[in-house]
Chain A
Amino acid sequence: MFWSGTIRTISGRARGERIATSFLILPLFVYCICYISSAKAMSENPAPKKVSKHYHELRDPVHIFVHFDSDERKVVNSRPLQRLRHIHQLALSYLIYPGATHRRFEHCLGVMELAGRVFDVVTSQDNVTDRIRESLPEIKKPNELQYWRRVLRMAALCHDVGHLPFSHAAERELLPINWDHERLTREIIYSPEMQEIWERLTPPLRADDIVKVALGPAKAKSLKFSVWETILSEIIIGDAFGVDRIDYLLRDSHHTGVAYGKFDHHRLIDTLRILPSPDTDEPALGVEEGGLQSAEALLWARYLIYVQVYLHPVRRIYDIHLRDFLKAWLDKGRFLTNIEAHLRMTDNEVTSGLLAAARRKGSAGHDPASRIVKRDHFRKLYERNPLDVQENSEAASAIFKAAEEEFGSANLRFDQYPAKGGGHDFPVLLSDNRIVRSGAASAVLLKVPPIAAEFIFVTPDKRDKAVAWLEANRNSIIKRKGKKNG
C-alpha cells in the first residue's frame, strides 16, 4: 500500500527522485518493522540455542573432501592426532623430493575417509551374499554395523599415532627392547586421555576393539580376533588393498610428483567384497573381477614407488645419518616411551636440535647433523642386484665386510631392506559367480617382484678409491663363500 500510494502522488523528474528515494527508504522501513516484531517475539520467547553443525568436512588434495561428525572431531582434535601435524610422512625425503613435506595428520584423515567408504561398500546389503551373512552375523544387525563402522574409522584415524619423529624407520634402535611404534599406538589408544573420549562417543567404543582393528593380528598378538575383526583390520592394514596403503601411495605420489603411485582407487573400492575363500570358505576381503585390474595396478604402483621413492639411495642414507644423529643426541640414545614424553617430541624438536648440532663442532651428533644440513651425505658404493644375488644371496654383506676391513667401519654404512609381506592372494568373484584365488584369475599379480634392497655407502672423500677397489675385488668377494658348518 505504501509503495503504490507514494508513486501515485508524484510526477516528472521529482517523481523519479522520489522513486529512487523510496527504493532506499522502503527496505529500511521493512527491516525496522521486522526487527521490532522479531525483538518483541524474542522478548516473549527466549532465543533458541544456536544449533551447531554436526557434520564437518576438510578439503584434501587426494580425496577432495574428508568427512567426519562432531563425535569424531573430538578425536581429530585430541593431542595425539594434532601431534601428527608435526610429523613428516616421508621423513627427510623432502631433501630429494622437495614437495614431500606432507604430514602424517592428513594421511590419517585420508585413511579414515577411505575406511568408511570401503566399509559402506562391503557391508551394503546388495553386495553381501547369504553365505557371508550366515558366517558374519554382525552384517545383519544395523546397530552393530553402526558400532563397527565407528570403530573402523577411529582405528583408521589413530593407526599411526605412535610414530616417532620423522616416522623413523630405525625405531628398533631408537626405542627400548620390545617397543615399536605400534606398541606406542596401542598405549595411546588405551591412555586415560583417549579412554575418556571413547567412552563419551555415541555409541561408546571399547578401546580393545580399536586397538585390534588399528594394529591387526600381527601386531596385537595378545588379543583374540574374530573373523569379522580380522576382516576389519584388513580393510586398514591389509597387504592386498588396505586403505593405509591406498592412501599413502596416492598421497606420496601426489606430493613427491612421482606419478607411479597413482591407480584407479575409486574402481577398486567400488568392487571390494567380502567373499568366502575358494579353498576353505573362510570369509576374506576380495574383489569382483571388474576391479582386478585396479588391484593389479595398486600392487605395481606399490612396487614402483618403493623402488623410486622409499628405497631411493639418498633418502636411505639421510635416514641413516638421522638415526646416527638421534643416537648421539637423545638421552641414552633412545626415545622415551611414556605418553607425555612421546606427545612432546615431534619433528620440530628434532630439527631444532639437528640445526644446533650442525652449527656447533663438538656437540653431540655434530657429524651426522652437519652431513644432513650441508648435504654432505655418504655416497652409494654398492647396491644389491639380481646378478650378484643369483651368485650369492649374501653378496652385499660379504662386500660390506671386506670394505670395512679395507676402509674402516667409520667410513661405511650398510643398509638392508629385506623383502617381506605377502598379499597377492585374495578371492576374486568372477562374472559367472565362481570364486577363485587371485593368482588363478590374474597372470599379472604373480609377476610383481618381491621388494628388497641393500646399499653400501662410503664417505664422499673415500668414494673414488672405494669404487676402484670394488671393481677390482667384486667378483672374488662374491664368489668367496665360506664353508658352512651345517
Chain B
Amino acid sequence: MDKFKRTALLTALAENLRKKGSWCGETHLQKATYFLQALQKVPVGFDFILYKHGPFSFELRDELTSMRADGLFDLHQQWPYGPTLIPTQKSKRFRQQYSRTLEKYKRQLNFVSDQLGKQNVSELEKLATALYIRIEASSKSENQRAKYLHSLKPHVSLDDSLEAVKTVEGIVKLAKSATA
C-alpha cells in the first residue's frame, strides 16, 4: 500500500476511534492499527514487535510523527490523560482524495473501531498482546497462551491474561463471521 493511501487510512481510523469514544492517543492508534493489519488483513505494511504496552511498530510511530509535521494530526493534552491525536481539517481534504481506498476498507475500519473504541490503554495492551501471542503460538491452548502472556508482561496478572486471551478469541470469531 502506498504512503498516501496509508495516511488516509490512519486518519480515518483515528476519526472512527474518536467517534466511538476513544481518547485516541498514540498507544490507541498503535494497537488499533495492529488489529487492522494482523486480524483484518488490511495491508498497511508495518512491522510490529512486542514492546511497550504490547505490539508496537517503530515505523508507525515515525509515520505518526511525520503526519504531525505535515499538519495531518494535532496533538492535544487534557489533564490527567496523555496526549491525544486529533485529525485536522487538512486530513479531511486528504481523505476525500482517497475515498475509494477508504470505501474499500470501510468494514475493517468499522470493525476495529467498534471492538477497541471504548478500551483504555491497559485493556488495549492486554488484548493486543493476546492477539500477538495467538498468531505467534497458534497451537497453544488458551491456558498456555495466558501463562505466556503473563511471563512476557509480569505486571498483567494470570487471571487478567486468561480473560484477555478469551476476549480475543471472541473477537477473532466475530471477525470471521463478519467476513463469512
Contact = CB atoms under 8 A, between A and B. Distances in A.
Contact of A418 (B66, B90, B100, B154): B66
A196 interface: no
B81 A440 contact: yes
B10 interface: no
B53 A393 contact: no
B122 A279 contact: yes
Contacts of B52: 230, 277, 282, 284
Contact of B51 (A217, A449, A451): A217
A80 interface: no
A418 B66 CA distance: 6
Interface in A224-262: 224-225, 227, 230
B69 A450 contact: yes
B8 A230 contact: no
B56 to A, nearest CB: 8
Contact of B155 (A276, A419, A483, A486): A276
Contacts of A440: 77, 79-82
A476 interface: no
B66 A436 contact: no
Contacts of B68: 419, 450
- In terms of DSSP, what is the predominant structure of the interface of chain A? loop
B155 A281 contact: yes
A393 B7 CA distance: 12
A94 B75 CA distance: 37
Interface string A10-43: 0000000000000000000000000000000000
A443 interface: yes
Contacts of B72: 393
Contacts of A475: none
Contact of B26 (A225, A425, A436, A446): A425
B40 to A, nearest CB: 18
Given A437-B81, A440-B82, A135 B65 contact: no
A422 B26 contact: yes
B120 interface: yes
B118 interface: no
Interface size range of chain A in the complex = 35 or more
A279 B61 contact: no
B53 A439 contact: no
A422 to B, nearest CB: 5
A486 B26 contact: no
Interface in A206-225: 217-218, 221, 224-225
Nearest to A481: B97
Nearest to A425: B82
Contacts of A218: 49, 58
Interface string A365-399: 00000000000000000000010011001000000
A178 interface: no
Interface residues of B, number: 43
Nearest to A449: B69
A437 B69 contact: no
B91 to A, nearest CB: 10
Contacts of A420: 61-62, 65-66
B121 A279 contact: yes
Nearest to B104: A486
Interface string B43-81: 000010111110000100110111011111001110111
A446 B125 contact: no
A393 B77 contact: no
Nearest to A234: B52
B155 A135 contact: yes
Contacts of B80: 436, 440
Nearest to B90: A390
Contacts of B76: 446
Contacts of B16: none
Contacts of B64: 422
A418 B62 contact: yes
A385 to B, nearest CB: 12
Contacts of A277: 52-53
Most chain A CB atoms below 10 A, which of B8, B101, B122: B122
A484 B8 CA distance: 12
Given A279-B121, A446-B83, A486 B4 contact: yes
Contact of A484 (B66, B81, B90, B97): B97
Interface string B91-108: 000000111110000000
Interface string A256-292: 0000000000000000000011111111100000000
B65 A422 contact: yes
B105 to A, nearest CB: 11
Contact of B62 (A217, A227, A390, A421): A421
A374 B27 CA distance: 50
Most chain-B CB neighbours within 10 Å: which of A217, A230, A280, A439? A280
B10 to A, nearest CB: 13
A283 B153 CA distance: 10
B124 to A, nearest CB: 9
A307 interface: no
Contacts of A450: 65-66, 68-69
B8 A486 contact: yes
B5 interface: yes
A379 B101 CA distance: 40
Contact of A279 (B8, B77, B120): B120
22 contacts: A135-B154, A135-B155, A225-B50, A227-B153, A227-B155, A276-B155, A279-B53, A279-B82, A279-B122, A281-B122, A390-B71, A390-B90, A393-B71, A419-B68, A419-B70, A421-B65, A422-B61, A422-B64, A422-B65, A450-B69, A485-B100, A486-B5
Shortest 5 CB-CB contacts between residues of A and residues of B: A486-B98, A419-B69, A279-B121, A420-B62, A450-B69
